[in-house]
Amino acid sequence: MPSSPFRRPMALFGLAAALLMATPEVRAAAFDIDPDHSFVEFRIAHLGYSVLKGRFNVVRGSFDFDEKNPAAAAITMEVETTSIDTNHAKRDKHLRSGDFLDVERYPKATFKSVSFVENGGTGRMSGDLTLHGVTRRVEFPVTLIGSGPDPWGGFRRGYEGHLEIVRADYGIAHNLGPAAERMTLDLFIEGIRR
């Protein structure tokens, strides 16, 4: 008869005990980004006379945060570039085209942190932003909005961060005028602890 853990109760028990003991330590600080309460938005000047706002509707990722070791905090997140939404069908179609995001070639934009320096409720996040197939190291301030239990038995933690980028650095150089060479990414990220 072949050997199987299910035929060896003690081995199964040992495995389960090992998992149970390891779990709190490994997973206590892991958060999944809540796609319903996380927003990756952007702002860009319209001709220098006003501001155009938009967002990416599909956001996912996870982050780690341990109160005892904030410097170990890390985040990995991505957006689907096709989910760009500026509340205007023809403009969104143009933004997805080769003139801008080229979503067929670059369906995802990602951010992977490399370091986090905490200073009370704020911190500086440093990491690699990949947009339009170009990866660049960026650094920007993030602020803890709040953290605590939610009414449904979960535990949540939310941040905001704002990052200014130069479009041409990422090869998105379609001319929108001198006021619109830079743009700002506004991130509102809420995680649910696993």
> Residue 122: which of 163, 177, 154, 160 has the closest Cα?
160
By beta-carbon proximity to another protein, the closer residue of 17 and 47 is: 47
Q: How far is the CB of 50 from another protein (least distance, A)?
A: 15
- Spacing of C-alpha 111 from chain mean position: 6
Q: How far is the CB of 26 from another protein (least distance, A)?
A: 37
By beta-carbon proximity to another protein, the closer residue of 102 and 160 is: 102
Q: How far is the CB of 176 from another protein (least distance, A)?
A: 5
Residues that bind another protein (CB under 8 A): 57, 82-83, 87-90, 92-93, 96, 174-177
Q: How many helices (H) and strands (E) does the chain have?
A: 2, 11
| CA angle at 100 for the pair 173 and 35, rounded to the nearest 5° | 125
Residue at token pair 């200073």: 119
Q: How far is the CB of 110 from another protein (least distance, A)?
A: 21
Total residue count of the chain as it appears in this document: 194
By beta-carbon proximity to another protein, the closer residue of 33 and 95 is: 95
Is residue 35 left, alpha or beta, with left meaning phi > 0 and alpha meaning psi from -120 to 50? alpha
By beta-carbon proximity to another protein, the closer residue of 85 and 118 is: 85
